Chains A and B, each alone.
Chain A
Amino acid sequence: MDLYRYIEKAARFRWWFLVLVVLAPVVASAAGEGGSGFTLGSLVENLLIGLILGSVYALIALGYTLVYGVIKLINFAHGDIYMLGAFTGFYLLRFTVRWLNFTQGISLIWCFVISVVISAILCAALAVLMERLAYRPLRKSSRIAALITAVGVSFLLENGGIIAFGPNPKSYEPRKLEVYQLQFAGSEDFSNARQQEIFDRTQQNFQSSELSKTPYARVRVVSKAGSSEWSPTLILSMDEQFGLEEIPKDQIANDSPQQLASIGYSNDSKAGTTTVSWARAAVADYQVRPIFSNSEGEQLAFHLPIKNAAGDDIRVPWFNVVIVVVTAILLWALNILINRSMFGISMRALSFDMNAAKLMGVDTDKVIAQTFAIGGACAAVAGNIVGLYNQQIDPLMGILPGLKAFVAAVVGGIGSIPGAAVGGLIMGISEGLVKGAGAGKMADAMAFAILILVLLFKPTGIFGRTTREKV
């Protein structure tokens, strides 16, 4: 019956508007800097990119649309939840790959799934916390106060993110570890020949070890119990460059030097004495195998029989297909949740009239918190997907996608899940086309131009209901 309703709604929808929104970027881009216009191949290629972007926007827009539907608040911090989702996913993936893939041999796909699920749970918890601390006390006060608070929370998360994760982008790229040397305090007399010998042995050890096969090498540098401190600057630079961890001092004391050799390090300590003079690490290049790759580390993909601008067949990685499928499944499941479950009914009741819903026995606080949790989880999934898709994340990555997702929610009709999906696709595809035409700078501007056009001609959006404000 749902399907029937949507068809009915779609029939009432003004088609010229969708045509306008999709055609505008094409026309604009044909007239733009690229000049040459589209071939079929580049059109298809950019449409596919747009599809990926669109499904990500749809996932983020979902949080906006649900929260706006329930408490009429533009949750500005939603884009930053998405950023935090990407970061928690990044660290969790690193962790799971180290400890599950390397040590337990669990496949990378499961590592990814686990880290996505955990980061979704964390972000849902954060969204609920945010609602509890910042938005709930303001529910009775003016809407503008809540809106300003939302801006404040967003600003707090961004700048907190800059302080916590550093302002520079973090990259999923495979790291190239090179041979480097650790000089411990209290270095002592070793001839060069002796050093070379140890170094060679280390390298051999490493290449035959499990470590050389793993994407994320956790290298522990330990010294023997009672040894004095090591040079901290070196450890720091290791940490920044290679993502190694600094080992707490007390832990160092307990580790035995034998452990070192087995994981790629070698040190040499004088028998009977406690000082470690130096250690040299030889870590070869390693490659991160992409998720959905074969044993050679090539990304699994299929080819479409259409030539792109470079004259090759268009290559579609399976990961991209997975993104779209996962998004579609999530949106479908949520749509069912909203339309059929008790939670969905109380949520819709809440968005219709909060006081009446309260009188009918709906636990409004709980439902609002659940809404925030769902939005946060979806944003986290989107963040994880984008992180792996772009291979790069940074603390300010949430601002623009957040805004565009809000525009997507408005385009689709705020408060409606199919609207969020359609709006996200419209935004994503138009952005893909504009970028494909070589006017990449203008893609952001166009998103807001679309917003202003939508507000001018169809402010309720595609699936929106026309409501009249009551006294």
Chain B
Amino acid sequence: MINPYWELVIFLVMINVIFTLSLNLILGYNGQFSLGHAGFLAIGAYGSGVATTALGLPLFAGVLMSIACCIVAAVIVGYPCLRLGGDYLAIATLGFAEIIRIVLLALPEKTFGGATGMQNIHNIYDYLPVPAGAHNGIINLIFTIVFSVVFLALTIWGVFALGNFLNGVLQKRFGGNFWRYIVWAGFVVLIIANLSGTKGTASVSAKPGIAGYVMDIFQFSNAMKQPSLESRQWLVFLIYGLIVLAVNQLIRNFLNSVPGRGVVAIRENEIAATNLGINVFWLKLQNFMLGCAFAGLAGALLAHTIPLIKPIEFGFLKSVDVLLMVVLGGMGSMTGSFVGAVSISVLPEVLRGVGEWRMVLYSLVLILFMLFKPGGIFGTNELSDIFRLPWLKRGRDAEASDA
């Protein structure tokens, strides 16, 4: 069993990956600068927190609600700013994040916690079966790991097989490519399925979302209904990992779709994109909404992972953190986002001794990267562009062979 400290670090890394991907979609792929991304994280966290505690909604509804809130907020901020050229979005989002922080401080303390933070949000573990004991034996652990891996593979394969089938059917019936709608739907289904667990009470044991139902079906449940602590941990890693992969796949597919190519075209040259018949403003707004939706998802997961959310945590510092993750990894590279998020999330744990110089170090890294390697570590390359592995035939190779 991984100790709680590193467990939390791993969770935060996963959440930061989603958060970084969401900013990368806006900053790296579309060239729009959102400098208050932490504001959307805050909306996500408080949205889901309030929905699940004060409103008593189930987990998936809380997550969907925070995503919806973020999309609305994205429209409010994005509509005036994205119409204009220039860097108004950066200032407006920065100001918007500040407004969110101040408003959260001013909202009623009973529901929102005020400056001391919101403490009573259900942790993700509250939605899992109560553990029988500290250790249920090595068999349980091995079983959980194997189950997780097989389940992961089956889910991914299943979702794509189903998606492909659906796409084929729809193509025959209506013509055109429906992948993006299917992926959106699949994404929502995946979140609902993964997070549709019910909170356990004294008499009714909690159900861990889709994994619990599947286990019920296959009667694996004797081991899992009263899992060991390790099994619970693995289950949560599994759920979060699935969501990270789903987000990754969704963004990848979006970027390979027609509007996704348009998004990249806007980054390259806005005027040329206009001449290609792209509705630049509308596409920028859509992309911004999508990125903010993912930030909201990250925020919702964050609320259910850490014991306490405070308005002060979603300040300018958080926005700079995520900016650094995107820049370090490479603006316009999914792999880069992963690398940036993992390294910047783990770095503070390693650099504990450096103390207050850490922030100076961060800012120097930011400046020096911009001066000498503006592309970040990966530039716009993906892993498949660097290691040309046959089974990773995506990115430029695939594009070249397509053309």
Contacts and interface: CB of A to CB of B under 8 A. Distances in A.
Interface of A: 72, 74, 134, 137-138, 141-149, 151-153, 155-156, 159-160, 162-163, 399-400, 403, 406-407, 410, 441-442, 444-445, 447-449, 451-452, 455-456, 459, 469, 471
Nearest to B81: A455
A163 B80 CA distance: 39
Interface string B87-121: 11011101110110011011000000000000000
Nearest to A446: B99
A456 B94 CA distance: 17
B357 interface: yes
Interface of B: 27, 31, 33, 35, 76-77, 79-81, 83-88, 90-92, 94-96, 98-99, 102-103, 105-106, 271, 316, 320, 323, 327, 331, 356-357, 359-360, 362-364, 366-367, 370-371, 374
B29 to A, nearest CB: 12
Contact of A447 (B95, B271, B327): B95
A74 B90 contact: yes
Given A447-B95, A448-B95, A452-B80, A156 B356 contact: no
24 contacts: A72-B86, A74-B87, A74-B90, A134-B367, A138-B374, A143-B87, A144-B31, A152-B363, A152-B364, A152-B367, A155-B362, A156-B363, A159-B359, A400-B98, A403-B95, A406-B91, A410-B91, A442-B102, A442-B106, A444-B99, A448-B98, A452-B77, A455-B80, A459-B83
Contacts of A452: 76-77, 80-81, 92, 95-96
A441 B360 contact: no
A147 B90 contact: yes
B91 A451 contact: yes
Contacts of A399: 316
Given A134-B371, A459-B84, 19 more contacts: A74-B87, A141-B374, A143-B87, A148-B323, A148-B327, A148-B370, A149-B366, A151-B323, A153-B363, A155-B359, A156-B367, A162-B359, A163-B356, A403-B94, A406-B91, A444-B98, A445-B99, A451-B92, A452-B76
A430 B371 CA distance: 39
B96 A448 contact: yes
A74 to B, nearest CB: 5
B359 A151 contact: no
Contacts of B76: 452
Contact of A441 (B35, B92, B105, B362): B105
A455 B88 contact: yes
A137 B106 CA distance: 44
A138 B271 contact: no
A444 B271 contact: no
Nearest to B316: A399
Contact of A407 (B86, B95, B106, B357): B95
Contacts of A137: 371
Given A145-B370, A459-B88, A156 B95 contact: no
B296 to A, nearest CB: 19
Given A74-B87, A151-B35, A445-B103, A162 B356 contact: yes
A447 B99 CA distance: 9
B98 A456 contact: no
A163 B357 contact: yes
A380 to B, nearest CB: 22
Contacts of B94: 403
Contacts, number: 117
A143 B95 CA distance: 20
Most chain B CB neighbours (cut-off 10 Å) among A153, A400, A455: A455
B160 to A, nearest CB: 34
Contacts of B362: 155
Contacts of A159: 356, 359-360, 363
B87 A471 contact: no
Contacts of B327: 148
Contacts of B106: 441-442
A153 B359 CA distance: 12
B77 to A, nearest CB: 7
A74 B363 contact: no
Contacts of A410: 88, 91
Contacts of A400: 98
Given A151-B366, A441-B106, A444-B98, A156 B360 contact: yes
Contacts of B35: 151
A400 B316 CA distance: 11
B367 A149 contact: yes
Contact of A445 (B102, B357, B370): B102
A424 to B, nearest CB: 16
A471 B271 contact: yes
Contacts of B96: 448, 452
B80 A74 contact: no
B366 A455 contact: no
A149 B366 CA distance: 7
Contacts of B86: 72
Contacts of A148: 33, 323, 327, 366, 370
Contacts of A155: 320, 359, 362-363, 366
A134 B371 CA distance: 7
Given A137-B371, A448-B96, A452-B80, A144 B27 contact: yes
A72 B87 CA distance: 9
B367 A469 contact: no
Contact of B91 (A144, A403, A445): A403
Contacts of B323: 148, 151
Contacts of A403: 91, 94-95, 98
A448 B81 CA distance: 12
A452 B89 CA distance: 10
B371 A163 contact: no
Nearest to B355: A163
A22 B160 CA distance: 56
A163 B354 CA distance: 12
B356 to A, nearest CB: 6
Nearest to B272: A471
A160 B98 contact: no
Contacts of A146: 370
A455 B367 contact: no
Contact of A455 (B33, B84, B374): B84
Contact of B102 (A145, A151, A441, A456): A441
Contacts of A455: 80-81, 84, 88, 92
A74 B92 contact: no
Nearest to B77: A452
Nearest to A160: B360
A165 B367 CA distance: 22
B370 A449 contact: no
A451 B95 contact: yes
A160 B33 CA distance: 25
Contacts of B371: 134, 137-138, 149
Nearest to A455: B80
A79 to B, nearest CB: 11
Contacts of A441: 102, 105-106
Contacts of B33: 144, 147-148
A138 to B, nearest CB: 7
A431 to B, nearest CB: 13
